Amino acid sequence: MLLILCGAPGAGKTTFYESKLHESFPIQLKASASPLEQAEIEQQRKRLLTEGKSFVYQSPAVDPTLVDAARSHGFEVRAIFIVKEHPDLNAARIFSRASRGGLFAPVAGSSPTQGPLPERGNRARVIGV
């Protein structure tokens, strides 16, 4: 099975994966904005598809070419779309992550308008693709 975990940056995809999916799907690949990293990820995806190993692919959107490739290898494909109740929560999570030196750290010089982040507001919906 290929499980695509998609949603905007800061929506909680990694948190959802780690808390709900990791045990059942120990292999996870994440899309990258870096062309070099993404090329490596593409090779890993192809290898997993060829070997018939289930995995989670985390990306902002569903990639139709990945869906087609997975289906051609006999995979069942599902997508889970993660959203927050309000887009400001996504931005606040990104600022919080950046302030700790994480992904999108260059935006840490900006100041978010939110205070402490509530961990409520995640919504997940499984869709067949």
List, for residues 44-100, the tens digit of each pLDDT value. Answer: 999 999 999 999 999 988 999 999 999 999 999 999 988 777 556 555 555 565 666
Could you give the angle at which helices 64-72 and 35-51 cross, rounded to 10 degrees?
20
pLDDT at 8: 80
| Average pLDDT over the chain, rounded to an integer | 79
Percent of the chain scored above 70 by pLDDT? 64
Question: CB neighbours (10 Å) of residue 1?
Answer: 13
pLDDT at 45: 97
14-18, 78-82, 112-116: least confidently modelled range:
112-116
Tokens 């289906």 correspond to what residue? 71
Helix (H) / strand (E) element for 79: namely strand 77-84
- pLDDT of 101 above 90: no
The boundaries of the domain holding residue 41 are 2-128
pLDDT at 119: 47
CATH classification at residue 17: 3.40.50.300
Q: Which residues of 64-81 are buried (b: 16+ CB within 10 A; e: fewer)?
A: eebbebbeeeebebebbb
pLDDT at 61: 87
Amino acid at 105: A
pLDDT at 3: 96
- pLDDT of 129 above 80: no
Tally of structural domains, the chain: 1
